[in-house]
A = this chain, B = another copy of it.
Amino acid sequence: MAQVSRNKQVILTDYVTGFPKQSDMNIVDSTITLKIPEGSNDLVLLKNLYLSCDPYLRILMTKDTTAELGALTPGSPLTGFGVSKVVESRDPDYKKDDLVWGMTKWEEYSLIPTAQILFKIEHTDVPLSYYTGILGMPGMTAYAGFFEVGSPKKGENVFVSAASGAVGQLVGQFAKLHGCYVVGSAGTKEKVDLLKNKFGYDEAFNYKEEPDLNAVLKKYFPEGIDIYFENVGGKTLDAVLLNMRVHGRIPVCGMISQYNLDQPEGVTNLAHIIYKRVRVEGFAVFEYYHLYTKFLEFVLPLIREGKIAYVEDVAEGLENGPAALIGLFTGQNVGKQVVVVAHE
């Protein structure tokens, strides 16, 4: 007879308006039969190990979200990126004990269509949790956004916002490896120190303590910015536009400062896109997964040889997931925010 297990879940209680709160999510003790139902040959049963806290989840918590991925469903567990172990599979591509990363649910065990698995994990000499970050979606985001969308050239001037986060810490280091001058902004003194002392940023500043963002950018970029890796939007973007160099590029990765606002802030300096012939380009990591093998060949040696730093912020236990997730929007996380569901 199939084993029935406890299945702790993080349930979205209702659509979210404004900043997400702890009460927007509920921890529920559910149960699950650890067996794939008969006739469901496109499903795998996963034991979830690490879950990824990602800012885009907030966008999916808005009712009638315009995001292509579609809204999360109140009353159901959150869905998101995670690292999981296969408990049972009817798909010949996966077998028991395979490790995978892809879309899973915020719960201990998940029945998931195999199509939601993105990649089988082949390299386990690195921490498994890295597949929620540097070796997972945020790593691919930094790689595709900087190299494919940003078209960097050696010696160019690069500015990164949310620079100590999951994506930002990698963009800065990729840019340094590429021979660029790199400046980052972040929201605490601790993060600014990390940027300069751990991630190798040439300069960094705390945007919350700068009354005049235009002036601080002018100071660090007297010749202007060639690439602005956009993570935050709003006031930062507006100041950046005044400081772009001719033929500058703005890969638009995210605008986290806008996700919780009912009425987004107005950006006023867009005419500089003409004056400086700037290319502003939105991108989505899911259009670049065909580069994943190439990306691993690039980044795994850097990790193994200690040539790239990587900082994770680890929350232990699913019950601490909601606080970890909402912490992204107040900058609580230092580095990539991970939730540990089980250490294997």
Contact = CB atoms under 8 A, between A and B. Distances in A.
Contacts of A246: 68
How many copies make up the complex?
Answer: 2
Given A265-B266, A268-B265, A282 B277 contact: yes
A296 to B, nearest CB: 24
Interface in A223-258: 233, 237, 246, 252-255, 258
A274 interface: yes
Nearest to A278: B282
Given A265-B266, A268-B265, A287 B277 contact: yes
Nearest to A263: B268
Nearest to A69: B275
A291 interface: no
Contacts of A263: 268
B274 A264 contact: no
A252 B281 contact: no
B287 A274 contact: no
Contacts of A237: 270
Secondary structure at the A interface, as helix, strand, loop or mixed, is loop
A271 B266 CA distance: 11
Q: Which of A246, A259, A266 has the most CB of B within 10 A?
A: A266
A40 interface: no
Interface string A269-292: 111111111111111100100000
A115 interface: no
Nearest to A271: B255
Nearest to A277: B282
A7 to B, nearest CB: 33
Interface in A49-69: 66-68
Contact of A255 (B255, B259, B274, B287): B274
Given A264-B271, A271-B255, A279 B279 contact: yes
Interface of A: 66-68, 233, 237, 246, 252-255, 258-259, 263-284, 287
Given A255-B271, A278-B282, 6 more contacts: A254-B274, A255-B270, A264-B269, A265-B268, A272-B282, A274-B282
28 contacts: A66-B272, A233-B271, A237-B270, A252-B270, A252-B273, A254-B274, A255-B270, A255-B271, A255-B274, A258-B271, A259-B271, A264-B270, A265-B266, A266-B267, A266-B268, A267-B267, A267-B270, A272-B282, A273-B281, A275-B282, A276-B282, A277-B281, A277-B284, A277-B287, A278-B282, A279-B281, A279-B282, A280-B280
